[in-house]
Amino acid sequence: ADDGYRLWLKYDLVADATQRAQFRAVAQYIAASGNDVVLKTAAAELQRGLQGLLGQAVPVVAAAPVGTQRGVVLTINPTANVFGSSTSRDAYHIAPQGRHLAVTGRSGAGVLYGVFALLRQLQTGQAIANLTLTSSPRIQYRLLNHWDNPNGTVERGYAGASIWKWNELPQRLDPRYTDYARANASIGLNGVAINNVNASARYLTPEYLEKVKALAGVFRPYGIRVYLSVFWAAPKVIGGLKTADPLDPQVQQWWAAKTEEIYRVIPDFGGFLVKANSEGEPGPQDYGRNHAEGANMLAAALGAHDGIVMWRAFVYKAGSDDRFKQAYEEFKPLDGKFAPKVLVQVKNGPIDFQAREPFHPLFGAMPRTPLVLEVQLTQEYLGMATHLVYLAPLFKECLNADTQTQGPGSTVARVVDGSLDQHRLSGIAGVANIGADRNWTGHPLGQANWYAFGRLAWDHTLSSAAIATEWTKMTLTREPRAVASIVDLMDRSRDIYVRYTTPLGLHHIMGQNIHYGPEPWLAQAGRPDWTAVYYHKADSAGLGFNRTATGSNALALYSAGVQQEWGDPQTCPLNYLLWFHHVGWRQPLPTGRSLWHELVTRYYTGADSVTWMQQRWASVQPAVDAALHADVAARLEIQRREALWWRDACVLYFQTYSKQPIPAPFAPPT
Ligand code: GCU
């Protein structure tokens, strides 16, 4: 039975003997010379992959032997003229060279990415004899963010406990850390922030730095650097200072010395991730300083070291008329004030990883600051590890959104990859869905979200279906009809989830604290912007948050073109309608139905679609491992029941305001 541990790196024997023979003919040895540690990893990984896929040992040699044998030659060549226009150190080029197949990288990491690309070709059943492939990442810093705590729990972690066993580190290195690094490298990720953004100061103590060093040592051969989330008040908590004011010389000195200490222990340390003055976390504003003053202090502490600061823009305070606007209001005025090593990290949407959000208005609004796009792989608001929701369509929707800030084509993707404003630095971060479950992500198909994030971080122009196809072939089956069915199921799953939970632009109506299941009636929480009624604003007239000029005017944060389209309920895409408009229950929509009728239709058809998902999944049973199939089938049954829960809770609750019957054919028989 497939326990899911191997992820997409299965390397099972290629079933077709002819194909296997073809592969064998071109890969009789692997040549790799030099001492680069990542190059060595590449050679070993290729050897491991070929051993499995071809069912035979392929030797690694220092140089291609004379003769007629054909092999794969791995070379680092920073000055080769084969990488196209990209200047990325991670670039690779694969091409036939005489009788060999050459994998050339600008660095060891480039070769490693090339090797994984080659293995992917084999795993997905494509020929390699005449393979020519040039590739380089569009985004430079491609990170997972772990929200893991020292006590082994994970903030919003839906695959159980943390994979980091702090009590065992640094003496024992769980072999799992290596497999984790392999998986990340295989999809092009090159950085890991290992601890929660709600950070403990502990990670900066000598005791923990030794543990972090041990992890960094496992990741280094895979081209992966370690980053730390820092607790702003660390100089007070572990440094014995009376203040954490970024303009205080003692505080500055403390961070500079701490940074030196870190680099002595971890010479290739990646840098700092900071959540400050958000949800109760301390920050520079506690001392009357702004985010730029805080971030720049840390950038100064990094000095000449090759590290960066990723400063999060996820901030909001009680008392605002609309939480939607707050990050923009705090950060937009600071554009141009950040030091060159600082990137500002922005969630895809303005509220918080909802099933569907309009793109965050900061994208396009801070041309002088490199912005990191932060997306969530862990399905905090998307049914956790029980609902099947493939997230590439969500990521793509944001990446493809046109901010229009510099005319048409100013997409979020171009803001983030730095091409729109010619930034030297660019970054993307995914909040990890990885935990201690044997299969890493709890839901077996959650693995696809990890995979898709890496592939899009590398190349955001890939389509979600293409990525799903790759992943399915590598992970589940290569039977063509089954692949097509699974990809179809995956690609529709996010829209289906939206329909049965938050159709038409509803948002933040989930269960309190746990963020699971429906609770649209929630009216009392710690503060108004943690309730549901704050967001849906249902009343006898209609439903939705008026963010036009007659409401909170959050719409004014977007460029004129976006405002024009979204500001008019007639032209606003239905997917965003209730994000921006309070719409009358009887208001006709472009679908020909009234708001009420459309809302009910979406809830009912959305819930019905889960039955369709179950049927689809049932149809692929012969092509998929039995245990894995049963696992997903059982989760789909939970999903079906919970889709009905969402549907009934929301429709019946909103009906108390609309005071209209449930229309045919959805009305239960009387
Ligand atoms: C959400 C989430 C928190 C998390 C926060 C963040 O609010 O519920 O658990 O800490 O996002 O991104 O900082």
Last residue of a domain, one of 135, 164, 182: 135
pLDDT at res. 318:
84
651 lies in which domain range? 498-545+582-658
Pocket test for ligand 1, best of 229, 279, 512 (most atoms within 8 A of CB): 279
Mark whether 518 and 468 lie in a shared domain.
Answer: no
Q: Is residue 668, in this structure, part of any structural domain at all?
A: no
279 catalytic? Reply is yes
pLDDT at res. 1:
82
Query: Do residues 336 and 368 touch, judged by C-beta distance below 8 A?
Result: yes
Q: Does the beta carbon of 352 sit less than 6 angstroms from any atom of ligand 1?
A: yes
Q: Does the beta carbon of 512 sit less than 6 angstroms from any atom of ligand 1?
A: no
Prediction ipTM score: 0.98
Protein residue closest via CA to atom 12 of ligand 1? 314
Mark whether 223 and 358 lie in a shared domain.
Answer: yes
What predicted TM-score, i.e. pTM, was given to this entire model? 0.98
pLDDT at res. 129:
82
168 catalytic? Reply is no
User: Phi/psi of residue 134, each to 5°?
Assistant: -120, 130
Q: Mutual orientation of helices 175-186 and 447-458 as an angle, nearest 10°?
A: 50
402 catalytic? Reply is no
Q: Does the beta carbon of 311 sit less than 6 angstroms from any atom of ligand 1?
A: no
Mark whether 88 and 191 lie in a shared domain.
Answer: no
Beta sheet of 60-61, edge-to-edge order: 60-61, 30-32, 72-76, 100-105, 92-97, 133-135
Q: Which of 174, 352, 421, 459 does the annotation list as catalytic?
A: 352
**Interatomic CA distance for residues 498 and 491, integer angstroms:** 13
Mark whether 318 and 448 lie in a shared domain.
Answer: yes
Query: Which residue reads 């990415």 in tokens?
Result: 113
User: Phi/psi of residue 366, each to 5°?
Assistant: -130, 65
Mark whether 147 and 129 lie in a shared domain.
Answer: no
Mark whether 386 and 445 lie in a shared domain.
Answer: yes
Q: Does the beta carbon of 156 sit less than 6 angstroms from any atom of ligand 1?
A: yes
Q: Is residue 647, in this structure, part of any structural domain at all?
A: yes
Cα–ligand 1 centroid distance for 194 (angstroms): 16
Strand locations in 128-239 (E): 133-135, 141-145, 191-193, 225-230
Mark whether 617 and 537 lie in a shared domain.
Answer: yes
The CATH number linked to 56 is: 3.30.379.10
Q: Does the beta carbon of 155 sit less than 6 angstroms from any atom of ligand 1?
A: yes
Last residue of a domain, one of 437, 459, 474: 474
Query: Which numbered atom of ligand 1 lies nearest the CA of 431?
Result: 12
Q: Is residue 632, in this structure, part of any structural domain at all?
A: yes
Mark whether 173 and 120 lie in a shared domain.
Answer: no
Q: What is the radius of gyration, based on Cα positions, of the chain?
A: 26
pLDDT at res. 421:
97
Provide the domain count of the chain: 3
Q: Is residue 568, in this structure, part of any structural domain at all?
A: no
pLDDT at res. 299:
98
pLDDT at res. 467:
98
Last residue of a domain, one of 440, 474, 508: 474
Which regions in the chain score pLDDT beneath 70?
none
Cα dihedral 59, 63, 66, 69 in deg (nearest 10): 40
